Amino acid sequence: MHTKRIIPCLDVKDGKVVKGVNFVGLKEVGDPVELAYEYYRQGADELVFLDITATHEARDTISELCEQVAAKIFIPFTVGGGIRTIDDIKRILRSGADKVSLNSAAIRNPELISEGAKIFGSQCIVVAIDAKQRETKDGWNVVINGGRIDTGIDVLEWVKKIQELGAGEILLTSMDQDGRKQGFDLPLLSAVNQISDIPVIASGGCGSLAHFYEVFAENAADAALAASLFHYGELSVGEVKDYLTYRGIPVRKKTMPQDLSALFSQLDFAKQNGLIPTIVQDHESKEVLMLAYSNKESLQITWKKGLACYYSRSRNELWLKGETSGHYQAIHEIRLDCDRDTLLFSVTQTTAACHTDAYSCFYQLLYQQGDQ
C-alpha cells in the first residue's frame, strides 16, 4: 500500500475560512494563513484552498493569499474557485500555489484541462468533482454550484474523460455526505478509484478517526480531505496520522525544523565545492533510484516543498525534480553518512526517476555474481 496523505481543506470567503453543510449556513472559523501554518505545523501533507467568493474582486485577494501562504508553509497546496482561463491558472501558480483545482469551469470547457496540462504539466491540474447519487440509486451525477445544478453527466464517464484530457488528480466530494460527519461515501469512492489511473482525494463526510481508516483500508482513495474536524480542533493532523500508523496504514511522518543551520553545520560542503552527493532511494522498495547533488539552496527548497530539489552540474542551476516531467520525489527521510559528506534521500517516486523513463537510473547491469 502506498503512503496515504492527509489534507485539510480551507473554504475561503471574503478572505476568511468558513464552513457549512453543502456550502450553506457558512460560519467563519479563522484566518486562512494562520490556519494553514497550524496545519503545516501539525504535519499535513498538503492543503487545499477553495475560494467560494466567486467575484472578480476576489481574484486579487486569492493571489495575495497564495503569496502569504507560500511564504509561511513548506508543503504543496492547491487553490480552486473562480479559475476559468489559462491566465487564471498561470496567475495562481505564479502566486505560489503548486496546483489548481478546476470544477465547473472544466464542465463548461473541458479543453481547459488539456490546455492546462500541456502548458503547466498534469501534476498541476486537479479536477474537482462534486457527485450526487441519482434518485434511481443506480449511480452518481456531476453537480455544480454547490450541488444545486445537476449537469446530467455520469460521474464515472466524467472520470474517464478527464483522465484522457490530462488531469493529474481527482478531488472527489460526495454532496450527499458533505458536512454531515457520517463517513466518506465509500461506494462512490471505490467505484471511481477502480477506474482511475490518477490519484483520488476523498472529500465529504469525515467525522472520526475511524472514517480515515475505513477509506484507506478499503483502498477507496489515495488521500483524505477534511475541514471542520480540523477547524474546530476536534482532531489534529498528528492525531490522525498516529491512529493510522497504529492501524497499519502507511502515512508520512515528517518533522522538519524551521532553522536549517543545525543541518548545515553537520555537512561538509568544502569537500565538493559546496555540493553534497545525494543518493536517492525508494522509500518502500529500498531500490536505489539515482545519484544527484545538493547544495545549500537546493536543500532549502527541498525543506520548503517536501519535494526533492538538486543542483544540476551540467546546467549549473537548481533543479526541482519533476518540475518539467511531473516525476516528483516526495521526501520521507534525509540521512547523513558517517563522514558528513553524503546524503541519503528516502522518497516516494512519481513514475520514473530516470530521464530515459526507466524507474531507476541504475538499470544497466554490468556484473552479477556467477558471471564469467
Is 130 an active-site residue? yes
H or E stretch at 289: strand 288-294
Buried-state track 105-135, b at ≥16 Cβ within 10 A, e below 16: bbbeebebbbbbbeebbbbbbbbbbbbbbee
Active site annotation includes 51: no
3-state secondary structure of 207: coil
CA angle 271-273-275, nearest 5°?
85
Residue 197 and residue 206: Cα distance in Å, rounded?
24
Q: Which three cell numbers stand for residue 231?
A: 477547524
Active-site hit among 51, 130, 178, 222: 130
Order of strands across the sheet that contains 276-282: 288-294, 276-282, 343-349, 329-336
Q: Look up residue 115 and give its three cell numbers.
A: 490546455
- Looking up cell 466518506, which residue turns up? 184
Q: Do the Cβ atoms of 140 and 134 come closer than 8 Å?
A: yes
C-alpha 199: how far from chain center = 9
Return all residues near 121 (Cβ < 8 A) that are at least 6 apart: 168, 323, 324, 325, 326
The one catalytic residue in 11, 88, 98, 178 is: 11
By annotation, the residues acting in catalysis are: 11, 130
